Amino acid sequence: MACTNCSTGSKDGSPKGCKNNGTCGTDSCNKLTVFDWLSNMSLPGGEAPFDCVEVRFKNGRKDFYRNTDNLTLSIGDIIATEASPGHDIGIVSLTGELVKMQMKKKRVKDDSEIAKIYRKASQRDIDIWREARDREEPMKVIARELAIRLNLEMKISDIEFQGDASKATFYYTANDRVDFRQLIKDFAREFSTRIEMKQVGFRQEASRLGGVGSCGRELCCSTWLTDFRSVNTSAARYQQLSLNPQKLAGQCGKLKCCLNYELDTYLDALKELPDLDTKLYTEKGDAYCQKVDIFKGNMWFAYANDNAHWHMINAEQVKEMLALNKNKERVSSLEEYVTEDTTKEEVAKNFENAVGQDSLTRFDAPKRKKRPNNNNRKKKPATANSPEGKVAPKAKMIIKPGGAVPVKEAAPAKEGGRNTDAGAKKNNRNNANRNNKNRNNKNNNNRNTKPGGNEDKK
């Protein structure tokens, strides 16, 4: 396959590495793939199939080759193509009439000299190609060390071996022109092969290496973007984006290509709005535009002597004010044309909870409250030294037939100005005796008044 992880790893032709048959998405397995939407259509009678095919090499590099021997080729076949010198190994990425459209798009003339296809790759060709691909990574490390040793301001980003391992192409990036004549000699002595140096731009380097952007998707330049249009900071200004180079720059260090995707839509919307440098003349002073909401059609203005307070005005009303200023008439003030910002009110008004309940513990089982059992509860007498003794004791109640009567407790005996435990115990014992007597009297009264009691029997 196109990447090292998916290259043929066994004699039966099954891929090694991720074992996804070329769809793993790493190292150009799916870089710049093309869907042949004309594959199900048959040619008219008497028409011969187009004799050129599109061949893909490492990291999405593509070229067109002529099928002079009329080989039966399909997408995914490994073939040996013409190269200088020797031959190269590539994978067929497109066949049929759609190749003619691709050549027209890339301005490749059909009648020009196009390299030809030698044959379908044999197992020996594939083995040599695979061994050459395995040498690329360790060679890249050594090549970078040699470039650093010569103090060359260049970065070797990738190495690509030819299919027959007779030539190695070194791709590098540099800001200025680099004299690498001595470097080529060192490479030839170190690697014992033919060396070719090829400079690429920073965008081309990112497209060859691939990666994941800040959006979480694979880079556009390595998956489907074929042409690199110039991106300017004006594209960010038209879209009201912050001119922060860390956010606007991509993997290549240049401005992101996606800044151009929605630029046309913003330019069409800006045609209906006044210019960003609009100036309004009022009786309170001159006002300047501070901010524009393109799709809502709102503009914010502030007086020249009070830049802290902005006034939001609709674009249609701004046009009316400009028409008055054109007739040399001043508007009284901006406050008369201010549009209320109801965005927050609408959000708060239309907000509804989809669940219907806001409590996070709505699914928890309710806790049962324990009922106090006064009969089994025994209170310990409070002493002067205990914490309970410091709190004012509650008044005790005596239940009598006429009702409950509070009982006054006797003050504990004092000895030398301090409370003693003996006095507290005596008072508690007296209170307990009174409670027992009252309880016995109550039981006797209830027994005598009960229907069917002893008095009825007598």
Question: Closest Cα partner for 301 from 314, 317, 313?
Answer: 313
HEC string of 97-137 equals HHHHHHHHHCCCCCCCCCCEEEEECCHHHHHHHHHHHHCHH
Q: Which residue has the tokens 């928890």?
A: 364
**Which burial class, exposed, middle or buried, applies to 443 when counting CB atoms under 10 A from its CB (0-12, 13-18, 19+)?**
exposed
pLDDT tens for the 458 residues of the chain, in order: 344 444 444 445 444 545 444 444 444 455 667 778 887 888 887 788 888 999 999 887 889 999 998 898 988 899 999 998 889 999 998 898 889 888 988 888 887 889 999 999 999 999 999 999 999 999 999 999 999 999 999 999 999 999 999 999 999 999 888 898 999 999 999 999 999 999 998 998 888 888 889 888 888 888 888 778 889 899 998 898 888 888 899 988 899 999 999 999 999 988 888 888 888 999 888 899 888 888 888 899 999 888 888 889 988 889 889 998 988 888 888 888 887 654 444 444 555 555 555 566 766 777 777 777 666 555 555 555 555 445 455 555 555 555 555 555 555 544 444 444 555 555 666 666 676 666 666 555 555 544 444 444 43
Reading the block at residue 168, the tokens are 């190695």
The answer to whether 243 and 281 are in contact (CB under 8 A) is: no
427 vs 384: CA distance, rounded Å: 13
The answer to whether 384 and 419 are in contact (CB under 8 A) is: yes
Question: Closest Cα partner for 157 from 211, 218, 212, 199?
Answer: 199
pLDDT of 140 reads 93
In three-state secondary structure terms, 158 is strand
C-beta atoms surrounding 114 within 10 Å: 17
For CA atoms 210, 215, 221, 225, give the dihedral sign: positive
pLDDT of 437 reads 63
Residues in Cβ contact with 173 at an 8 Å cutoff, skipping those fewer than 6 apart: 154, 155, 157, 199, 200, 201, 202, 205
